[in-house]
Amino acid sequence: MQVTLPKIGRGIGIRDENQSLLSAIWNNAVRHRMLLAIIFVIGVKLVNTVATGFDLSMRLAYLLLILIAVSWVWSRVGAVNMRASVNRPTGPFSVGDTLSERIVIQNSNGAPKAWVEVEDKTTLPDVQFREVTSFGLMVTFKRVNMEAPLTQRGEYDLGPLVIRASDPFNLFPRDIEFEGIDKVLVYPRVLPIPDIASSRVLLADGHSRRHRMHLL
């Protein structure tokens, strides 16, 4: 059954609970290296303008500031207008089966997106439900199908769903997390067991027939 998921968070980044503060700061700095580089260039141009009075450097700094503002608005509006629904089968399954799920992403404003990463987090061992797609101009929805083999028995979680997107210049990448965690139950592999009782009956019946034929 296809279920529409409500958002539980949107922003520039979602910090993992097990992640240290320094690690989170470093990861965010790496994700926003383009933004940090532009801010550095703006600072250099402002210092150059103050030192030399060169007007062109100030104009370039203004253009870069406008670029940052437009990118932030683009990323913000894109995150607000993202919707998702997911169809997760919950089983029961056996080891060796294939788990398939279907995710529908809605981009209600129709703005193009160069890349959109879809990840349905899971505790299944050796399984990653992750796919990268894109939205062209006026494309309002995409369907993503993902599947993975089940290798270990147990009870596992599917979800939450996370969608990552950004502005065209990749200055403000955003993680959009959606509610909804489902349980999936994986049983041990079932092997066919030969019918020993029937085999014994057949053997006994054949032996009795041969015995009767021998007596005749």
Residues 86-116 have pLDDT tens digits of 998 877 899 999 999 999 998 887 778 888 9
Per residue in 121-136, pLDDT tens? Answer: 999 998 889 999 888 8
* Residue 199 maps to a domain: no
Residue 137 in any domain: the answer is yes
Q: Are strands 154-165 and 141-149 parallel, antiparallel or unpaired?
A: unpaired
Within a domain: residue 25?
A: yes
202 domain residue, yes or no: no
- In a domain, residue 113? The reply is yes
> Which residue segment(s) compose the domain that 33 sits in?
3-187
Provide the CATH number for the domain around residue 110: 2.60.40.150
Determine, yes or no, domain membership for 193.
no
Residue 82 lies inside a defined structural domain of this protein: yes
**What's this model's pTM, rounded to 2 decimal places?**
0.72
b/e per residue, 21-60, with b = 16+ CB within 10 A?
eeeeeeeeeebbeebeebeeebeebeebbeeeeeeebeeb
Provide the number of structural domains found in the chain: 1
